Structure 1
Amino acid sequence: MPTATPTIPRRSPKRGYDFIVIGSGSGGAAVTRRLVDAGADVLLLEAGTAGIGIAELDDPAGWVPLGRGAYDWGYDYAPTDHVMGRTIGIPRGRVLGGSSSINAMMWYRGHAADYDAWEEAGARGWGFADVLPYFKRCEDWEGGESEWRGAGGPLRIERSPDPHAIALALIESAAELGIARIDDPNGAQNEGAALSNFNICSGKRWSSARGYLWPVLNAENLAIMTEAEAQSLRFEANRCKAVRYVRAGIAVEAEAAQGIILALGAIDTPRLLIMSGIGEPGDLRRIGISVKAALPGVGRNLQDHPLVRAINFRAQRPLGPVRDNGGGSMVNWKSHPSLAQPNLHAFPVQGRSATPELAGQYDLSADGFAIGVGLMRSRSRGYLRLLDAGPGAPMEIQPNFLAEPADLQDLVDAVSFVMELAHTSAFRDWFAGFAAPGGKLDRRQAIAFIRSACSTFFHTCGTCRIGEDEGAVVDSRLAIRGIEGLHVADASVIPVIPSCNTHAPATMIGERAADFLLQAA
């Protein structure tokens, strides 16, 4: 279902709108579309460019270099001893569609228990039975509608029509080691090996911008301002009334009669709140910002999935052209049979994959392939804090990867399992030896390897979590606690990181946010 390349109509800024959405990523695009469809007058602000018709954004095989490129914010996780003092880059989309325009295009919602855990953590009404209809609403799944999947929604979701042999070998090798093949990791069960679900259609990326926003670009009740960076929020008494943003060097203020929705992501939503005086009072005063609302949870509870990037193998022959997103399949399994759900996740890489530090330690010059492996039930928690008060001021962003010893042990088990996969008959025609690491590892060696190879899935979340306790930032209807007219619709509200890529949960959050706003209007 290819869509003709559109343009964003030029619209003169107005003083007021019904709603203002700040950020056009997975959550922001969804909430914008549903508000526009309902007839509301909406302003959507995006700090990046439109990115429409840009070949490198459309090409599924070319997504990796987009990190640190023109469409990336260029953020970093701060170093710790747990990762050998390394700085870890966090690709975050600065373009219409946000990170959905530069990510690996994975559509994966994890396990039902992930969302029941949200409910247990204080997010009332966010159990799996509550959120499944909203996941289905997002989807245009190639297999059609079912109890578990949706059809006719804005986001096209497909499996590879011609998977790479390495992707198929991963599924077969996992089966040899006792892990079941499953048809759909977004179906009734996610434990097992399967072809991945992609936001790809006719060989092109199907971003949130393409799915949610392109069909309504010409709607008279939607104004999209790209290259418009929000600077602060303005309040009247206890109500958020307006946002101040800069576009083409000119400061502009826009008011919202019914509400402002923050959808800047788990880094920039808390940053804008802090810049506007909402956060932990001591942190605000430290950088000279007056306290508007004392919410100590802003910027706390930061979570991400640690990725071991990656186990590299020498190949018997060249792999040929990259297909799909350079992967194509996944394996989800338990580090111990007693666990209630899978906690480990692996995927193939059609080529080499390594952190700069790992690439400096091993010879990766020969033809090769890799398997990335990560912990999807990570326990470590971190934080985000501003180091200054000015626009664009530096931040300390700290996930505390590997701070919890149990996280490290799970990854030791995961690396051992992945190295066993290479010895199965499924990889017999491809495996020509280990490249990084160079061979079997004892526990001490495995820990050193993991610390050097630890990277990020860029699933940053949790920094404005839903809940009812003093550390919560939004209530169960995504309203900022103690402030009227201000809501959040992105991955920052996630209380407990789900065992999946965060694009699907963030989109679901945007869908629910729109319902909450329209019900209150």
Structure 2
Amino acid sequence: MLCDAADTLETAYDVIVAGAGTGGCVVAGRLAQAGLSVLLVEAGPPDTAEPAIADAGAWVGLLGGPCDWGYAYAPSPAVADRAIAIPRGRVLGGSSSINAMLWNRGHPSDYDGWAAAGATGWDFAAVLPYFKRAEDWEGGETPLRGAGGPLRIETSADPHPVAAALLAGATELGMPILADANGPDNAGAALANLNKRGARRWSVVDGYVRPLAGDPNLTVLTGATALGLLLAGTACTGLRLGLDGGIREVRARHEVVLALGAIGTPALLMRSGIGDPADLARLGIATRHALPGIGRNLQDHPLLMGINFSARAPLGPVRDNGGGAQLNWRSRAGLRAPDLHAFVVQGSHAGPEIAATADLSGPVFAVSPGLMGSTGIGSLRLESAEPDGAVTLRPNFLTEPADRAALAGAIDTILALAETAAFRDLGAVPLTPARRLRPAEAEAFLARACSTFFHTCGTCAMGTGPAAVVDPALNLHGVAGLRIADASVMPTIPTGNTQAAVVMIAERAAAFVRDAAG
């Protein structure tokens, strides 16, 4: 049931899910299917309020618009003192409704690394069933892929010329072509896995919420802001909401699940008095429960915008998500997993600082690399106790010499593609940069071109040590009746787009809650 008015709310539900984004929709849908009464709370509007959401090729126009929270990473010298926009969906479906629909798990060893870091029971063998449970893979069920799940996953039926050129060019450079980007190893070039059905985005709303329209177990409340948690001693009993200009309190009979994302979840916890006591005292917030790890361990993948090429002639209209193919490779021998990733863009891809250095009009395309094995660790700092108060986000991009060296090498790899027959057939001429760069030039280019893959995570990390925020069952340490099911719980960032990992986390969170509720 979709509602947006206070008078339709009940006073209590079995489970309250705060945040109807990628994780929240999965948890709410699964628990409602299991027979629990669920309230799913979203600050933004329904996804039907913006028709472009459904168009798989229109997502770029959603960034920075009314369905985006409008966050930005703080300027730092390492990125030429620029603020870097970090789009996050403020709409039913969250970032699943405005993202590029990429479905990449990363490398299997990423999750073995989670288990080694203290997230016991989250190794790849343990999480694989939850990845598969979510999928309706176009190729059908395999030992690694799922079929018949809520999320349709497809590759391009008719790849764009730039996507085809990436595959052929990678072959010329001696890189393997993968039949499946989510196969046993992700090193090589592949057609991108996309959560879409034909030309239509297939978000978590489509997969987990819309099929339950009319189900009395699921109440979806849009236009409602989560203001704080209701706490009774060391137990969470409900949620305080801002709705219709007033404040409502709703109780949870079993649990509250936070799925506000790696920015919203730690902010709500701190505003509720849960966090580092020193941080809370700075804001005049009384400490209800001390958890100093909240807001620490922020991680993201740095992306270079962009390595652009002119083409001999127009390459045709946008297809799929405006990309369609990707490449993963290792910056140096001996790494457990590919640490570099690139994707094609069926048009120019550059921030204003780079766009000002060349004429990017006419037939232009891009191959944009980024670092999936980044080692920089940042933080989230709450600046106000008010619900709409500012947060300062510092990802610490390019602060580690190893990260800069890997990305500098990635520029050379992408420029080497321009020398392959596949790219010469397109008439590819490098524009930004126009040639191989000397070391000092590469450092300057990195600082001006660095952006983000929108993969903010880690700010409420899972584990058992003193810095951990949730345990391996996603319970908040020391607070009963409260779990987290979003990217904030990742102890380390996977070497891939984070959407698939968040869905997996949420699938498992729903199983934990269902089992606990009996």
TM beyond 0.5: yes
Matched with 2:165 is 169
Structure 1 residue 365: Cα displacement: 2.1
Matched with 2:145 is 149
**Within 1, Cα distance between the matches of 2:306 and 2:138?**
31
User: In the TM superposition, what are the counterparts of 1:48-447 in structure 2 within 5 Å?
Assistant: 48-52=44-48, 54-447=50-443
TM norm structure 2:
0.98
Matched with 2:472 is 476
Q: Deviations over 1:174-204 (max 9, x none)?
A: 1111100110011112111110111110310
Structure 1 residue 62: Cα displacement: 1.0
Change beyond 3 A, Cα 1:119–1:95: same
Q: Deviations over 1:343-390 (max 9, x none)?
A: 100111101000121112322123210011000011000000111111
* 1:516 corresponds to 2:512: yes
Q: What is the one-letter code of the residue matched to 1:467?
A: G
Q: What is the one-letter code of the residue matched to 1:455?
A: S
Structure 1 residue 431: Cα displacement: 3.1
**Within 2, Cα distance between the matches of 1:388 and 1:147?**
48
Q: What is the one-letter code of the residue matched to 1:221?
A: N
**Within 2, Cα distance between the matches of 1:97 and 1:8?**
15
Q: Deviations over 1:43-96 (max 9, x none)?
A: 000011002263211111111121100100000000100000000000100001
Matched with 2:502 is 506
Q: What is the one-letter code of the residue matched to 2:406?
A: D
Matched with 1:3 is none
Q: Contact 1:8–1:217 at 8 Å: present in 2 too?
A: no
Q: Deviations over 1:451-493 (max 9, x none)?
A: 1000000000000000111100000000000000010000000
Q: C-alpha root-mean-square deviation of aligned residues, in Å?
A: 1.2
Q: What is the one-letter code of the residue matched to 2:239?
A: V
Q: What is the one-letter code of the residue matched to 1:94?
A: R
Change beyond 3 A, Cα 1:512–1:378: same
Q: SS at 2:132's partner residue?
A: helix
Q: Contact 2:377–2:395 at 8 Å: present in 1 too?
A: yes
Structure 1 residue 435: Cα displacement: 1.1
Q: Contact 1:116–1:126 at 8 Å: present in 2 too?
A: yes
**Within 1, Cα distance between the matches of 2:129 and 2:4?**
33
Q: Deviations over 1:296-345 (max 9, x none)?
A: 11000000000001100111111221000110011111111222211100
**Within 2, Cα distance between the matches of 1:432 and 1:194?**
21
**Within 2, Cα distance between the matches of 1:94 and 1:138?**
23
Q: Contact 1:7–1:52 at 8 Å: present in 2 too?
A: no
**Within 1, Cα distance between the matches of 2:43 and 2:232?**
25
Structure 1 residue 221: Cα displacement: 1.1
User: In the TM superposition, what are the counterparts of 1:35-46 in structure 2 within 5 Å?
Assistant: 35-46=31-42
Change beyond 3 A, Cα 1:490–1:99: same
Q: Contact 2:460–2:488 at 8 Å: present in 1 too?
A: yes
Q: Which runs of 5+ in 2 are unaligned?
A: none
How many equivalent pairs are there? 516
Q: What is the one-letter code of the residue matched to 1:462?
A: G
Matched with 2:25 is 29
Q: SS at 2:269's partner residue?
A: helix
Q: Deviations over 1:111-137 (max 9, x none)?
A: 100000000100000000000000000
Q: Contact 2:2–2:221 at 8 Å: present in 1 too?
A: no
Change beyond 3 A, Cα 1:217–1:9: farther
Q: Contact 1:265–1:490 at 8 Å: present in 2 too?
A: yes
Q: SS at 2:477's partner residue?
A: coil
Structure 1 residue 7: Cα displacement: 6.7
Change beyond 3 A, Cα 1:237–1:432: closer
**Within 2, Cα distance between the matches of 1:375 and 1:364?**
24
Q: Contact 1:490–1:510 at 8 Å: present in 2 too?
A: yes
Structure 1 residue 9: Cα displacement: 9.0
**Within 2, Cα distance between the matches of 1:404 and 1:431?**
36
Q: SS at 2:286's partner residue?
A: coil
Report % sequence identity: 52
**Within 1, Cα distance between the matches of 2:65 and 2:423?**
34
Q: What is the one-letter code of the residue matched to 1:287?
A: L
Higher deviation after alignment, 32-41 or 52-61: 52-61
